[in-house]
Amino acid sequence: MTSTPGATARYPIRTATAETMEAFAAPLNLAFAEMPDPGDEERRLWEPERIIAAFDGEQPVATAGAITFRLTVPGGEAGAAGVTLVGVSPSHRRRGILRSMMRHQLDDVRARGEPLAILWASEGAIYQRFGYGLATLSGSFELARDRAAFARPAPAEGSVRLVDLEAAMEVFPAVYDRVRVETPGMVARSEAWWRWGTLHDTDHARSANGMKFFAVYEAGGSVEGTAVYRVKPDWDDRGPNGRLVAQEVIATTPRATRDLWSWLLSADLVGVVRGVRAPVPHPLQLLLAEPRRLGFTVGDALWLRVVDIPAALAARTYGRPGTLVLEIRDPFCPWNAGRWRLVAGEDERGVVQPTTAEPDLALDASDLAATYLGTFRFSDLALVGRVAEITAGSLRRADALFAAERAPWCSTMF
Protein backbone atom coordinates (compact mmCIF):
# COMPACT_ATOMS: atom_id res chain seq x y z
CA MET A 1 0.00 0.00 0.00
CA THR A 2 1.28 3.44 -0.96
CA SER A 3 1.69 5.51 2.20
CA THR A 4 3.54 8.46 3.63
CA PRO A 5 4.58 7.28 7.08
CA GLY A 6 6.81 10.29 7.66
CA ALA A 7 4.00 12.78 6.98
CA THR A 8 1.51 10.79 9.01
CA ALA A 9 3.86 10.59 11.99
CA ARG A 10 4.85 14.25 11.90
CA TYR A 11 1.36 15.58 11.08
CA PRO A 12 -1.10 13.19 12.74
CA ILE A 13 -4.62 13.00 11.37
CA ARG A 14 -7.58 13.42 13.69
CA THR A 15 -11.33 13.19 13.14
CA ALA A 16 -13.61 16.11 13.96
CA THR A 17 -16.61 16.26 16.26
CA ALA A 18 -19.65 18.49 16.06
CA GLU A 19 -17.87 20.91 18.38
CA THR A 20 -14.55 20.96 16.52
CA MET A 21 -15.53 20.67 12.85
CA GLU A 22 -15.28 24.39 12.06
CA ALA A 23 -11.83 24.60 13.63
CA PHE A 24 -10.79 21.49 11.68
CA ALA A 25 -11.96 23.12 8.43
CA ALA A 26 -10.17 26.42 9.10
CA PRO A 27 -7.09 25.59 6.91
CA LEU A 28 -9.42 25.67 3.88
CA ASN A 29 -9.74 29.45 4.02
CA LEU A 30 -5.96 29.80 4.04
CA ALA A 31 -5.53 27.28 1.21
CA PHE A 32 -7.94 29.14 -1.09
CA ALA A 33 -7.15 32.65 0.18
CA GLU A 34 -10.85 33.29 0.73
CA MET A 35 -12.83 34.93 3.46
CA PRO A 36 -15.86 32.87 4.47
CA ASP A 37 -19.32 34.21 3.65
CA PRO A 38 -20.91 34.95 7.05
CA GLY A 39 -24.36 34.06 5.70
CA ASP A 40 -23.30 30.74 4.23
CA GLU A 41 -25.01 27.78 5.91
CA GLU A 42 -22.91 25.09 4.20
CA ARG A 43 -21.74 23.87 7.62
CA ARG A 44 -25.25 22.47 8.14
CA LEU A 45 -24.41 19.91 5.43
CA TRP A 46 -21.10 18.80 6.91
CA GLU A 47 -20.75 15.41 8.55
CA PRO A 48 -18.31 15.87 11.46
CA GLU A 49 -17.34 12.21 11.59
CA ARG A 50 -16.19 12.52 7.95
CA ILE A 51 -14.05 15.64 8.45
CA ILE A 52 -10.38 15.09 9.17
CA ALA A 53 -7.48 17.44 9.78
CA ALA A 54 -3.71 17.02 9.87
CA PHE A 55 -2.10 18.71 12.85
CA ASP A 56 1.24 20.35 13.46
CA GLY A 57 1.28 20.21 17.24
CA GLU A 58 -2.14 21.51 18.25
CA GLN A 59 -2.63 23.54 15.06
CA PRO A 60 -4.73 22.12 12.18
CA VAL A 61 -2.76 22.72 8.98
CA ALA A 62 -4.74 20.70 6.43
CA THR A 63 -8.28 19.42 6.12
CA ALA A 64 -10.41 17.03 4.08
CA GLY A 65 -14.03 15.99 4.35
CA ALA A 66 -16.69 13.89 2.71
CA ILE A 67 -20.46 13.94 2.33
CA THR A 68 -22.50 10.75 2.08
CA PHE A 69 -24.24 10.59 -1.30
CA ARG A 70 -26.17 8.21 -3.52
CA LEU A 71 -24.86 8.63 -7.06
CA THR A 72 -26.92 7.74 -10.12
CA VAL A 73 -25.03 5.29 -12.33
CA PRO A 74 -26.26 3.72 -15.58
CA GLY A 75 -29.30 1.66 -14.66
CA GLY A 76 -29.09 2.20 -10.90
CA GLU A 77 -27.29 4.01 -8.11
CA ALA A 78 -24.36 3.45 -5.79
CA GLY A 79 -23.01 4.83 -2.54
CA ALA A 80 -20.44 7.55 -3.11
CA ALA A 81 -18.33 9.68 -0.81
CA GLY A 82 -18.56 13.30 -1.94
CA VAL A 83 -15.04 14.54 -1.20
CA THR A 84 -14.95 18.19 -0.19
CA LEU A 85 -13.27 20.72 2.14
CA VAL A 86 -9.83 19.68 0.91
CA GLY A 87 -7.00 22.12 1.46
CA VAL A 88 -3.50 22.45 2.88
CA SER A 89 -2.27 25.65 4.53
CA PRO A 90 0.33 27.43 2.32
CA SER A 91 2.87 27.07 5.13
CA HIS A 92 2.67 23.27 4.99
CA ARG A 93 2.49 22.38 1.31
CA ARG A 94 4.80 19.89 -0.42
CA ARG A 95 5.28 17.81 2.73
CA GLY A 96 3.18 14.75 1.83
CA ILE A 97 0.27 15.85 4.01
CA LEU A 98 -2.34 15.73 1.26
CA ARG A 99 -1.26 12.25 0.25
CA SER A 100 -1.56 11.01 3.82
CA MET A 101 -5.06 12.52 4.09
CA MET A 102 -6.14 10.92 0.80
CA ARG A 103 -4.78 7.60 2.05
CA HIS A 104 -6.73 7.97 5.30
CA GLN A 105 -9.89 9.06 3.51
CA LEU A 106 -9.98 6.30 0.88
CA ASP A 107 -9.34 3.68 3.53
CA ASP A 108 -12.33 5.08 5.42
CA VAL A 109 -14.51 5.12 2.28
CA ARG A 110 -13.69 1.47 1.70
CA ALA A 111 -14.42 0.58 5.34
CA ARG A 112 -17.84 2.24 5.00
CA GLY A 113 -18.68 0.02 2.03
CA GLU A 114 -18.90 2.87 -0.47
CA PRO A 115 -17.66 1.67 -3.88
CA LEU A 116 -17.09 5.18 -5.24
CA ALA A 117 -15.65 8.56 -4.29
CA ILE A 118 -16.48 11.72 -6.26
CA LEU A 119 -15.34 15.34 -6.19
CA TRP A 120 -15.14 18.65 -8.00
CA ALA A 121 -11.45 19.42 -8.41
CA SER A 122 -9.82 22.80 -7.97
CA GLU A 123 -7.08 21.36 -10.20
CA GLY A 124 -7.54 17.98 -11.85
CA ALA A 125 -3.84 17.15 -11.80
CA ILE A 126 -3.96 16.90 -8.02
CA TYR A 127 -6.46 14.07 -7.83
CA GLN A 128 -5.34 12.01 -10.79
CA ARG A 129 -2.34 11.10 -8.61
CA PHE A 130 -4.78 9.30 -6.32
CA GLY A 131 -6.67 7.38 -9.01
CA TYR A 132 -9.48 9.79 -9.82
CA GLY A 133 -10.64 9.94 -13.42
CA LEU A 134 -12.68 12.56 -15.29
CA ALA A 135 -16.23 11.21 -15.11
CA THR A 136 -18.59 14.01 -16.22
CA LEU A 137 -18.31 17.20 -18.23
CA SER A 138 -19.83 20.60 -17.57
CA GLY A 139 -20.73 23.36 -19.98
CA SER A 140 -20.93 27.12 -19.69
CA PHE A 141 -22.08 29.81 -22.10
CA GLU A 142 -22.80 33.51 -22.44
CA LEU A 143 -25.45 34.56 -24.94
CA ALA A 144 -26.51 38.06 -25.94
CA ARG A 145 -30.27 38.14 -25.55
CA ASP A 146 -30.76 39.75 -28.96
CA ARG A 147 -29.07 36.72 -30.60
CA ALA A 148 -31.27 34.18 -28.84
CA ALA A 149 -33.80 33.45 -31.61
CA PHE A 150 -34.92 29.84 -31.89
CA ALA A 151 -34.52 27.93 -35.15
CA ARG A 152 -38.12 26.68 -34.90
CA PRO A 153 -40.14 29.18 -32.87
CA ALA A 154 -43.37 27.86 -31.43
CA PRO A 155 -46.05 29.16 -29.05
CA ALA A 156 -45.51 28.18 -25.42
CA GLU A 157 -47.50 25.12 -24.37
CA GLY A 158 -47.30 25.91 -20.67
CA SER A 159 -46.72 28.76 -18.26
CA VAL A 160 -43.99 29.88 -15.85
CA ARG A 161 -44.52 31.29 -12.37
CA LEU A 162 -42.10 32.46 -9.71
CA VAL A 163 -42.27 30.89 -6.25
CA ASP A 164 -40.71 31.62 -2.88
CA LEU A 165 -38.29 29.43 -0.93
CA GLU A 166 -40.92 27.40 0.90
CA ALA A 167 -42.90 26.70 -2.27
CA ALA A 168 -39.67 25.71 -4.03
CA MET A 169 -38.93 23.28 -1.20
CA GLU A 170 -42.27 21.63 -1.89
CA VAL A 171 -42.02 21.46 -5.69
CA PHE A 172 -38.39 21.33 -6.82
CA PRO A 173 -37.18 18.01 -5.29
CA ALA A 174 -39.75 15.82 -7.07
CA VAL A 175 -38.95 17.36 -10.47
CA TYR A 176 -35.22 16.99 -9.89
CA ASP A 177 -35.60 13.34 -8.84
CA ARG A 178 -37.49 12.47 -12.02
CA VAL A 179 -34.43 13.55 -13.99
CA ARG A 180 -31.87 12.35 -11.46
CA VAL A 181 -32.91 8.69 -11.49
CA GLU A 182 -32.16 8.41 -15.20
CA THR A 183 -29.12 10.69 -15.48
CA PRO A 184 -25.73 9.20 -14.54
CA GLY A 185 -23.66 11.56 -12.43
CA MET A 186 -26.50 13.21 -10.52
CA VAL A 187 -26.67 12.81 -6.76
CA ALA A 188 -29.64 12.44 -4.43
CA ARG A 189 -30.27 15.58 -2.37
CA SER A 190 -31.55 15.53 1.19
CA GLU A 191 -34.08 18.04 2.46
CA ALA A 192 -31.21 19.84 4.21
CA TRP A 193 -29.24 19.94 0.97
CA TRP A 194 -32.17 21.54 -0.85
CA ARG A 195 -32.72 24.18 1.84
CA TRP A 196 -29.15 25.08 2.73
CA GLY A 197 -27.29 24.10 -0.45
CA THR A 198 -29.36 24.57 -3.60
CA LEU A 199 -31.93 27.17 -2.60
CA HIS A 200 -30.25 29.14 0.19
CA ASP A 201 -29.15 32.70 -0.56
CA THR A 202 -26.93 35.18 1.28
CA ASP A 203 -26.35 38.92 1.27
CA HIS A 204 -22.80 38.33 0.02
CA ALA A 205 -23.98 36.22 -2.94
CA ARG A 206 -26.75 38.68 -3.83
CA SER A 207 -24.30 41.56 -3.77
CA ALA A 208 -21.89 39.77 -6.09
CA ASN A 209 -24.30 38.07 -8.50
CA GLY A 210 -27.81 39.43 -7.97
CA MET A 211 -31.00 38.13 -6.42
CA LYS A 212 -31.80 34.41 -6.65
CA PHE A 213 -35.12 33.43 -8.23
CA PHE A 214 -37.07 30.16 -8.38
CA ALA A 215 -39.23 29.46 -11.44
CA VAL A 216 -41.74 26.64 -11.98
CA TYR A 217 -42.98 25.53 -15.40
CA GLU A 218 -46.43 23.95 -15.60
CA ALA A 219 -48.22 22.33 -18.53
CA GLY A 220 -51.08 19.88 -18.81
CA GLY A 221 -51.95 20.36 -15.16
CA SER A 222 -48.58 19.30 -13.75
CA VAL A 223 -45.13 20.69 -12.99
CA GLU A 224 -42.68 19.69 -15.73
CA GLY A 225 -39.71 21.94 -15.05
CA THR A 226 -37.88 24.21 -12.64
CA ALA A 227 -35.18 26.84 -12.82
CA VAL A 228 -32.85 28.44 -10.29
CA TYR A 229 -31.34 31.66 -11.61
CA ARG A 230 -29.92 35.04 -10.57
CA VAL A 231 -30.34 38.46 -12.11
CA LYS A 232 -27.70 41.15 -11.63
CA PRO A 233 -29.15 44.53 -12.71
CA ASP A 234 -26.95 46.91 -14.68
CA TRP A 235 -27.56 50.15 -16.58
CA ASP A 236 -25.47 52.20 -18.94
CA ASP A 237 -26.02 55.20 -21.23
CA ARG A 238 -27.96 53.01 -23.67
CA GLY A 239 -30.36 51.58 -21.10
CA PRO A 240 -30.73 48.30 -19.18
CA ASN A 241 -27.96 45.73 -19.55
CA GLY A 242 -28.51 43.25 -16.74
CA ARG A 243 -27.10 39.74 -16.55
CA LEU A 244 -29.15 36.59 -15.91
CA VAL A 245 -27.25 33.51 -14.73
CA ALA A 246 -29.07 30.20 -15.08
CA GLN A 247 -27.68 28.06 -12.26
CA GLU A 248 -29.85 24.98 -12.73
CA VAL A 249 -32.59 24.26 -15.26
CA ILE A 250 -34.39 20.94 -14.88
CA ALA A 251 -36.95 19.78 -17.44
CA THR A 252 -38.81 16.49 -17.55
CA THR A 253 -40.39 16.93 -21.01
CA PRO A 254 -39.29 18.39 -24.37
CA ARG A 255 -41.83 21.22 -24.11
CA ALA A 256 -40.56 22.13 -20.67
CA THR A 257 -37.01 22.32 -22.04
CA ARG A 258 -38.07 24.55 -24.93
CA ASP A 259 -40.48 26.79 -23.04
CA LEU A 260 -38.30 27.29 -19.95
CA TRP A 261 -35.29 28.33 -21.99
CA SER A 262 -37.43 30.56 -24.21
CA TRP A 263 -38.77 32.26 -21.07
CA LEU A 264 -35.33 32.74 -19.51
CA LEU A 265 -33.93 34.15 -22.76
CA SER A 266 -36.73 36.73 -22.96
CA ALA A 267 -36.22 38.25 -19.48
CA ASP A 268 -36.75 41.99 -19.34
CA LEU A 269 -33.90 44.41 -18.55
CA VAL A 270 -31.34 41.70 -19.37
CA GLY A 271 -28.65 42.01 -22.01
CA VAL A 272 -26.78 38.75 -21.45
CA VAL A 273 -27.83 35.28 -20.32
CA ARG A 274 -25.19 32.97 -18.88
CA GLY A 275 -25.37 29.29 -18.10
CA VAL A 276 -23.17 27.47 -15.59
CA ARG A 277 -22.73 23.81 -14.66
CA ALA A 278 -24.80 23.00 -17.72
CA PRO A 279 -25.25 19.58 -19.39
CA VAL A 280 -23.08 18.53 -22.33
CA PRO A 281 -24.41 18.55 -25.00
CA HIS A 282 -26.78 21.42 -24.18
CA PRO A 283 -30.36 21.68 -25.51
CA LEU A 284 -29.75 25.26 -26.66
CA GLN A 285 -27.23 23.93 -29.16
CA LEU A 286 -30.19 22.42 -31.00
CA LEU A 287 -32.84 25.02 -30.16
CA LEU A 288 -31.03 28.19 -31.25
CA ALA A 289 -30.93 29.48 -34.80
CA GLU A 290 -27.31 30.52 -34.18
CA PRO A 291 -25.84 28.04 -31.67
CA ARG A 292 -22.34 29.42 -32.21
CA ARG A 293 -23.46 32.58 -30.41
CA LEU A 294 -23.47 30.60 -27.17
CA GLY A 295 -19.70 30.48 -27.10
CA PHE A 296 -20.25 27.13 -25.45
CA THR A 297 -17.29 26.02 -23.34
CA VAL A 298 -16.77 22.50 -22.00
CA GLY A 299 -14.78 21.78 -18.85
CA ASP A 300 -14.27 19.06 -16.29
CA ALA A 301 -16.95 18.45 -13.66
CA LEU A 302 -17.12 15.32 -11.49
CA TRP A 303 -13.95 13.35 -10.92
CA LEU A 304 -14.63 9.78 -9.83
CA ARG A 305 -12.56 7.23 -7.92
CA VAL A 306 -13.44 3.54 -8.10
CA VAL A 307 -12.78 2.35 -4.55
CA ASP A 308 -14.20 -1.18 -4.87
CA ILE A 309 -14.15 -2.54 -8.42
CA PRO A 310 -16.47 -5.56 -7.97
CA ALA A 311 -19.10 -3.54 -6.08
CA ALA A 312 -18.88 -0.56 -8.45
CA LEU A 313 -19.25 -2.65 -11.60
CA ALA A 314 -22.10 -4.65 -10.07
CA ALA A 315 -23.99 -1.45 -9.21
CA ARG A 316 -24.59 -0.42 -12.83
CA THR A 317 -26.21 -2.08 -15.82
CA TYR A 318 -24.72 -2.87 -19.23
CA GLY A 319 -25.83 -2.24 -22.78
CA ARG A 320 -25.63 -5.86 -23.93
CA PRO A 321 -24.77 -9.34 -22.65
CA GLY A 322 -21.10 -10.17 -22.79
CA THR A 323 -17.84 -10.91 -21.04
CA LEU A 324 -14.84 -8.68 -20.57
CA VAL A 325 -11.58 -9.26 -18.70
CA LEU A 326 -9.92 -6.10 -17.40
CA GLU A 327 -6.37 -5.84 -16.09
CA ILE A 328 -6.35 -2.92 -13.66
CA ARG A 329 -3.30 -1.05 -12.41
CA ASP A 330 -3.94 0.70 -9.11
CA PRO A 331 -0.90 1.49 -6.95
CA PHE A 332 -2.82 3.76 -4.55
CA CYS A 333 -5.63 1.25 -3.83
CA PRO A 334 -3.82 -2.05 -4.42
CA TRP A 335 -6.86 -4.17 -3.51
CA ASN A 336 -8.23 -3.16 -6.93
CA ALA A 337 -5.14 -4.22 -8.85
CA GLY A 338 -5.24 -7.39 -10.92
CA ARG A 339 -7.51 -9.06 -13.43
CA TRP A 340 -11.28 -8.91 -13.18
CA ARG A 341 -13.85 -10.80 -15.26
CA LEU A 342 -17.08 -8.91 -15.91
CA VAL A 343 -19.99 -11.05 -17.08
CA ALA A 344 -23.08 -9.07 -18.15
CA GLY A 345 -26.26 -11.14 -18.42
CA GLU A 346 -29.52 -10.82 -20.31
CA ASP A 347 -30.92 -8.84 -17.34
CA GLU A 348 -28.25 -6.18 -18.01
CA ARG A 349 -26.68 -6.76 -14.58
CA GLY A 350 -23.02 -7.62 -14.19
CA VAL A 351 -21.12 -10.10 -12.03
CA VAL A 352 -17.45 -9.38 -11.35
CA GLN A 353 -14.86 -11.84 -10.07
CA PRO A 354 -11.07 -12.02 -9.96
CA THR A 355 -9.56 -14.18 -12.68
CA THR A 356 -6.27 -15.46 -14.05
CA ALA A 357 -7.55 -15.44 -17.64
CA GLU A 358 -5.79 -13.45 -20.31
CA PRO A 359 -7.00 -9.82 -20.24
CA ASP A 360 -8.94 -8.15 -23.02
CA LEU A 361 -7.96 -4.62 -21.97
CA ALA A 362 -5.27 -3.19 -19.69
CA LEU A 363 -5.75 0.18 -18.03
CA ASP A 364 -5.34 2.25 -14.87
CA ALA A 365 -8.08 2.62 -12.28
CA SER A 366 -8.45 6.28 -13.28
CA ASP A 367 -9.19 5.20 -16.86
CA LEU A 368 -11.92 2.85 -15.65
CA ALA A 369 -13.34 5.78 -13.69
CA ALA A 370 -13.50 7.89 -16.87
CA THR A 371 -15.61 5.24 -18.62
CA TYR A 372 -17.73 4.20 -15.65
CA LEU A 373 -20.63 6.64 -16.11
CA GLY A 374 -20.44 6.60 -19.91
CA THR A 375 -18.92 10.03 -20.56
CA PHE A 376 -15.90 8.55 -22.34
CA ARG A 377 -15.57 5.29 -24.27
CA PHE A 378 -12.70 2.87 -23.90
CA SER A 379 -11.89 3.57 -27.55
CA ASP A 380 -11.60 7.29 -26.74
CA LEU A 381 -8.97 6.49 -24.12
CA ALA A 382 -7.21 4.08 -26.46
CA LEU A 383 -6.79 6.88 -29.01
CA VAL A 384 -4.57 8.74 -26.55
CA GLY A 385 -2.72 5.64 -25.36
CA ARG A 386 -4.49 5.24 -22.03
CA VAL A 387 -6.02 1.81 -22.72
CA ALA A 388 -4.25 -1.14 -24.32
CA GLU A 389 -6.36 -3.51 -26.41
CA ILE A 390 -4.91 -6.98 -25.90
CA THR A 391 -7.69 -9.07 -27.43
CA ALA A 392 -8.74 -7.95 -30.91
CA GLY A 393 -12.22 -6.44 -30.94
CA SER A 394 -12.41 -5.94 -27.19
CA LEU A 395 -12.52 -2.14 -27.41
CA ARG A 396 -15.70 -2.33 -29.44
CA ARG A 397 -17.20 -4.84 -27.02
CA ALA A 398 -16.25 -2.70 -24.03
CA ASP A 399 -17.76 0.41 -25.62
CA ALA A 400 -21.05 -1.41 -26.20
CA LEU A 401 -21.11 -2.83 -22.67
CA PHE A 402 -20.46 0.48 -20.90
CA ALA A 403 -22.57 2.78 -23.09
CA ALA A 404 -25.02 4.99 -21.16
CA GLU A 405 -28.49 5.72 -22.53
CA ARG A 406 -28.30 9.33 -21.31
CA ALA A 407 -25.35 11.69 -21.24
CA PRO A 408 -23.93 11.97 -17.71
CA TRP A 409 -24.36 15.27 -15.90
CA CYS A 410 -23.91 16.62 -12.39
CA SER A 411 -25.38 19.99 -11.44
CA THR A 412 -24.70 19.68 -7.70
CA MET A 413 -21.54 21.46 -6.58
CA PHE A 414 -20.12 20.30 -3.25
Residue numbers annotated as active site: 127, 414
Angle formed at CA 56 by CA 53 and CA 62, multiple of 5 degrees: 35
Nearest-angstrom CA–CA distance, 133 and 388? 17
**Helix, strand, coil % in the chain, rounded to nearest 5:** 30, 35, 35
Q: Backbone dihedral region of 91: left (phi > 0), alpha (psi from -120 to 50 degrees) or beta?
A: alpha
Nearest-angstrom CA–CA distance, 343 and 313? 10
Q: By the 8 A CB rule, do 272 and 266 touch? A: no
Residues 6 or more apart in contact with residue 384 via CB below 8 angstroms: none
Q: Is the dihedral of CA 42, 205, 82, 124 positive or negative?
A: negative
Q: Which of 175, 177, 148 is nearest to 258 (CA)?
A: 148
- What is the H or E stretch that residue 372 is in? helix 365-372
